[in-house]
A and B are shown apart, each in its own frame.
Chain A
């Protein structure tokens, strides 16, 4: 569904992505982990052409999104929902207005249908009670959940999550994890999740990939990933107190 072909991305004089090639299958939850500054968010941004590769091609289906322009790009982006790290809500609109925005601007749905879908999306992220509040009046975690509601309100085929659980309390973080699983299982949404949270990554991911030095040093199913002999993976897992033994005991 999404295919990276020999992607090189040069930023500030260094190759952040260095000949990166991989494929994400339809209906999959693909989790990208790795230390800060290794290019996880950069990888995600290439999928919707917020960044263009220095060389190589990113394919969405049979179309290249890295070279798409105008209406072709708009149509390809229409297949995506994107949850930004900070939620990226517009400050002068209420939570409900933020969630309604893509429907109001890009569809011909009537107000009643828009209101129904906004309520549905906000209830999914347990935020209906804050619908009339402004982003500045709610916590960072709530902003992130509102951002997620906006990302899914158009019912996209693919949702990209940039650090969906960072800065959230453990209970809310697991709620978001379950929501990602629910969207995937019940609605068939393909998900790409960038995270530091290995607990969540190994729980929800169908495949987990470790980005290091601009390339994936390991791409595997959660069990195989936890058992990986790759030193970078082992170091990353140990730093979060996840060992092969306690993963399989669970």
Chain B
């Protein structure tokens, strides 16, 4: 049952019992979020149905196409800043020809999935939390449950699948565009020709960097969707609750992208 009653302390609970119950409830909430993600993953085969596929395509458009303008600007300028700052330092040692490798490797390994995760967390995750939160307070989730339509299958799974597809694609797009931005700075500000920039980049970048980066993006997609949908589906207290759920979804997503990003990096390198 998605529709849950708000957690309440017993009237007789003292300070320590309240602390204990709050900790217990906090852990239970984490467990419920993980369970939501697992249930949504288990429902993925349902997307074979034409009706479910239509919603999946709609979510692909929202996650992918609607995020494209922001991602384009951020990726391009991140690559440019990265190339410029690295280039200034490398020029002191006459090594500015290596900005290609600095930009490409850092984009592939870390920056591209990280930037994509943050942008999708802010743009798509917040929208998911706000939409599901509004549906919750307007009784739309309850209406689905009464109609015996599984809200996880109907609402969470298409969003999760769309994010699992789009986050790696957008991460790759960010990487390409960031590298392009770096090349533009290299050619116009640091006198590094395109061929030199590319050959330095391709010399140091390995396929593993690309695959680990894409894997990270996939994990971020799952985390952002699970956190945002869970926050939305547990919204209470009207418009204030929707705002609170959206804020929490963005903060938790950002923190988890950072923390999990470190552990994935640590695991592979």
A36 touches B (CB below 8 Å): no
Least Cβ–Cβ distance between A56 and chain B, in angstroms:
15
- Among residues 137 to 159 in chain B, which have CB atoms less than 8 Å away from a CB atom of chain A? 138-140, 142-143, 145-149, 154
CA distance A85 to B142 in the complex (A): 12
CA distance A42 to B138 in the complex (A): 15
User: Nearest CB to that of A90 among chain B residues?
Assistant: B140
CA distance A212 to B27 in the complex (A): 38
Does the CB pair B8–A82 fall under 8 Å?
no
CA distance A80 to B8 in the complex (A): 29
Does the CB pair B147–A106 fall under 8 Å?
yes
User: Nearest CB to that of B134 among chain A residues?
Assistant: A91
- Among residues 1 to 44 in chain A, which have CB atoms less than 8 Å away from a CB atom of chain B? 11-13
Does the CB pair A12–B143 fall under 8 Å?
no
Given contacts A13-B8, A49-B1, A104-B51, contact A86 B145 (CB under 8 A): no
CA distance A147 to B154 in the complex (A): 19
Task: Please tell me the number of chain A residues within 8 Å of chain B, measured between CB atoms.
Answer: 30
Contact with B along A73-101 (1 / 0, CB 8 A): 11001101010111011101000000001
Given contacts A51-B5, A88-B138, contact A77 B11 (CB under 8 A): no
Does the CB pair B149–A80 fall under 8 Å?
no
Does the CB pair A106–B149 fall under 8 Å?
yes
Least Cβ–Cβ distance between B152 and chain A, in angstroms:
13
A211 touches B (CB below 8 Å): no
Least Cβ–Cβ distance between B63 and chain A, in angstroms:
15
CA distance A165 to B11 in the complex (A): 37
CA distance A45 to B147 in the complex (A): 14
List of B residues within 8 angstroms of A86 by Cβ: 138-139
A50 touches B (CB below 8 Å): yes
A52 touches B (CB below 8 Å): yes
List of B residues within 8 angstroms of A50 by Cβ: 3, 142, 145-146
A105 touches B (CB below 8 Å): yes
Least Cβ–Cβ distance between A97 and chain B, in angstroms:
11
CA distance A74 to B3 in the complex (A): 14
A61 touches B (CB below 8 Å): no
CA distance A74 to B150 in the complex (A): 10
List of A residues within 8 angstroms of B11 by Cβ: 13
Does the CB pair B146–A48 fall under 8 Å?
yes
User: Would you list 10 pairs from A and B whose C-beta atoms are within 8 A, ordered by A residue?
Assistant: A13-B8, A48-B146, A49-B1, A52-B5, A73-B1, A84-B142, A88-B140, A89-B140, A104-B51, A154-B147
| Extra A-B contacts (17), CB below 8 Å, given A77-B147, A88-B142, A105-B51 | A11-B5, A45-B142, A48-B146, A50-B145, A82-B143, A82-B146, A84-B139, A84-B142, A84-B143, A86-B138, A88-B139, A88-B143, A92-B58, A101-B149, A102-B147, A102-B149, A104-B51
Interface of A with B (CB < 8 Å)?
11-13, 45, 48-52, 73-74, 77-78, 80, 82, 84-86, 88-90, 92, 101-102, 104-106, 147, 150, 154
